[in-house]
């Protein structure tokens, strides 16, 4: 007898040529037992199974032994293909959470996906499945084998020619949002071609699918919404979030990006908008509530206990459904929730806040790289921030941490070299009682200063960093003041999108007479000044979070440690070449983002192993090569 103990209370009958499988529901709805017997004779027979089921490897199951299939689901597909050389009826195959089993010669055999040429019931369905569709790249043999003969024009195009054709089309669009919509349309019909375009043309297309264009797409998402991507969890799903997560077809989830939409980029409360998993608790944006095309809950935002309970249920359901090692990336939560959630769940889950930690890591990398141009160490510099929210305080804390490690000084002493300005002026000790908790470490002894320009003139910082989300706040007077007491002032205008940038690249170079070391959150074109071309860098989180996440996943990290963020910063800074420095760049070009991400992943994974927080053992001998082998490759696969 062979038993599969399934945690979902559903099962179906399977029939083989001379093999019968019966099943029943456990009365307590805790498990389902599937018993395999010889067809017709009712005799028990040894059945062997070769299977890889989630994290449990089953080499052989014989007689009274059991195989545990975590949270398994039975969903019979409809296929007519010949598998493993055995002619099978459609009901001869079952899928258990993404793993295929077939009865062949009295054996229950688990098939890898490479054994299954196609998972669909018709060629028509194949052409509408973005995961497997290749468009006109299907070969003559594939068109016959998978019933798509006559459903496509006769020409066969290579993926490279498809890419060339689509890039020509995209370049004809004059409006960035039109390009964004065209790219999203491509993703919905042909995923691999979408990612190949993006990888091969990253510098041209990243501003289309990411900042700055994604900001406009978020604002208009209800109007341009065509097909849902990801999971939407609202207050209506309270009490059944686990069931909602089980509706998502992919089972081996390693990374989740989640938002509640309250602080999208620098755009504010956009409610239920455009990220893979959206926690919809309402919106306080009256314009959206009055918009007939808005796709989210039409109510004011839930707060307090109601909000906390929904997030608790979500975090618990994620761990229950996907396991302990799934990485949860918090994205665009408002300040009053972001710090609380990160502090709370970092002790129990593998969590990462891109706005706090990702931004901090990428900015620290730029500062470390800039030292090659200005000299000295971090401890030799004085920092002034405009903006004391998630990004500002997160960056400040990571700078202080790195400074402390370099100088062997207490972190409290290092914080004294870092000053922050918020909407009420310079953060000083006389304001301590009224400050939010995350701002209090930055309240230093100083007389009150209301305006940024006065803080610049008084403190004379060597580094000016903007994370305010308010455009044009680095005025000509501010930049000229920075240039008056710094030979090479470091000016980082980080706010996104472009319209919210504290100053443009042209303004920074012109007002500093070409002496500024400048980087921004969104891209700016090259600047001509006094016969010289200046190319500004982009302090974009996209440098960090892909490689950082890969490093955590490939090492099987169980928690995020601050030293991993420092490792990511150092890895990114090390990728800046002498040629980049000669152009005034403090970040490497995005053209090399795959190589950059592999190096970041390797350094992060190394730190995970060094700290004893890795669960994937043994440690790979070459982490860079291992990272590259783990990366997604968008080239088309051949179908048998």
Residue ranges at the known binding site for a divalent metal cation? 331-332, 355
Across the strands, what pairs with 422?
425
Dihedral of alpha carbons 272, 500, 586, 179, sign: positive
**Of residues 110, 565, 558, the one with CA closest to residue 360:** 565
> 3-state secondary structure string, 528-578?
EECCEEECCEECCHHHCHHHHHHHHHHHCCCCCCHHHHHHHHHHHHCCCCH
What is the 8-class DSSP label of residue 354? I
Residue 74 token pair: 């039975």
Q: How many CB atoms lie within 10 A of CB 607?
A: 23
- Binding-site residue positions: 263, 331-332, 355, 496, 540
Count of CB atoms situated within 10 Å of the CB of 258: 24
Indicate the annotated binding residues for (S)-malate: 263, 496, 540
Inter-CA distances, 54 with 98, 244, 322, 435, 532, Å: 9, 20, 10, 47, 57
As a whole number of angstroms, the distance between CA 225 and CA 138 comes to 29
Beta-strand runs (E) in 140-186: none
The tokens 């304001």 sit on which residue? 431
Which alpha helices (H) appear in 171-303, and where do they start and end?
A: 176-189, 191-200, 202-209, 213-219, 221-224, 241-246, 286-289
Q: With contact defined as beta carbons under 8 Å apart, do 174 and 207 qualify?
A: no
E strand or H helix at 607: helix 593-610
Please check whether residue 383 is in contact with residue 391, taking contact to mean a CB–CB distance below 8 angstroms: no
Residues 243 and 154: their CA atoms lie apart, in Å, by 44
């Amino acid at each position: 007898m062979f038993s599969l103990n399934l945690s979902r209370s559903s099962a179906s009958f399977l029939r083989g040529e001379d093999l019968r499988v019966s099943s029943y529901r456990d009365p307590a709805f805790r498990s389902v037992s599937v018993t395999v017997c010889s067809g017709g004779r009712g005799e028990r027979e040894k059945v062997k199974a070769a299977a890889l089921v989630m994290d449990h490897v089953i080499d052989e199951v014989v007689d009274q032994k059991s195989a545990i299939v975590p949270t398994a689901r039975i969903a019979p597909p409809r296929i007519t293909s010949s598998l493993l050389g055995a002619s099978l009826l459609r009901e001869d195959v079952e899928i258990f959470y993404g793993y295929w089993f077939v009865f062949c010669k009295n054996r229950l055999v688990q098939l890898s996906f490479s054994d299954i040429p196609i998972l669909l019931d018709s060629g028509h369905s194949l052409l509408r499945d973005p995961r497997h569709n290749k468009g006109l790249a299907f070969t003559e043999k594939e068109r016959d084998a998978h019933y798509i003969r006559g459903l496509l024009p006769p020409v066969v195009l290579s993926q490279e020619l498809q890419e060339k054709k689509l890039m020509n089309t995209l370049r004809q669009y004059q409006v960035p949002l039109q390009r964004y919509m065209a790219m999203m349309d491509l993703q919905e019909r042909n995923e691999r071609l979408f990612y190949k375009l993006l990888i091969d043309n990253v510098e041209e297309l990243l501003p289309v699918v990411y900042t700055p264009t994604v900001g406009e797409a978020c604002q208009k998402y209800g109007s341009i919404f065509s097909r849902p991507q990801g999971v939407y969890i609202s207050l209506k799903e309270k009490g059944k979030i686990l069931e909602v997560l089980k509706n998502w077809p992919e089972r081996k989830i390693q990374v989740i990006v989640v938002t509640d939409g309250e602080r999208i980029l620098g755009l504010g409360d956009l409610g239920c908008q455009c990220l893979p998993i959206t926690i919809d608790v309402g919106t306080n944006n009256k314009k959206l509530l009055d918009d007939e095309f808005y796709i989210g809950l039409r109510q004011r935002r839930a707060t307090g206990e109601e909000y906390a309970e929904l997030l608790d249920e979500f975090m618990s359901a994620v761990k229950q459904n996907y396991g302990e090692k799934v990485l949860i990336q918090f994205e665009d939560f408002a300040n009053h929730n972001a710090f609380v959630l990160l502090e709370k769940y970092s002790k129990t889950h593998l969590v990462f806040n891109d706005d706090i930690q990702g931004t901090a890591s990428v900015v620290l990398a730029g500062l470390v790289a800039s030292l090659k141009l200005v000299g000295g160490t971090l401890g030799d510099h004085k920092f002034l921030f405009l903006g004391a929210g998630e990004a500002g305080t997160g960056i400040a804390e990571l700078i202080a941490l790195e400074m402390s490690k370099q100088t062997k000084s207490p972190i409290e002493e290092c914080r004294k070299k870092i000053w922050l300005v918020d909407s009420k002026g310079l953060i000083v000790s006389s304001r301590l009682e009224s400050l939010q908790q995350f701002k209090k470490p930055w309240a230093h002894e100083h007389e009150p200063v209301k305006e940024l320009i006065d803080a610049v003139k008084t403190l004379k910082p060597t580094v000016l960093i903007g994370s305010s989300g308010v455009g044009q706040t680095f005025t000509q007077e501010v930049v000229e003041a920075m240039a008056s007491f710094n030979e090479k002032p470091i000016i980082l205008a980080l706010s996104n999108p472009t319209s919210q940038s504290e100053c443009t690249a042209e303004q920074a170079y012109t007002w500093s007479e070409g002496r500024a070391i400048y980087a921004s959150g969104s891209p700016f074109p090259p600047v001509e000044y006094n016969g010289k071309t200046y190319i500004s860098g982009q302090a974009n989180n996209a440098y960090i979070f892909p490689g950082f996440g890969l490093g955590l996943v490939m090492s099987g990290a169980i928690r995020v440690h601050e030293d991993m963020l420092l490792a990511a910063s150092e890895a990114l800074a090390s990728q800046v070449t002498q040629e980049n420095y000669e152009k005034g760049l403090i970040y490497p070009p995005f053209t090399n983002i795959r190589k950059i991400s592999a190096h970041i992943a390797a350094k992060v994974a190394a730190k995970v192993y060094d700290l004893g927080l890795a669960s994937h053992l043994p440690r790979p001998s070459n982490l860079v090569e291992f990272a590259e082998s783990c990366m997604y490759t968008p080239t088309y696969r051949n179908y048998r």
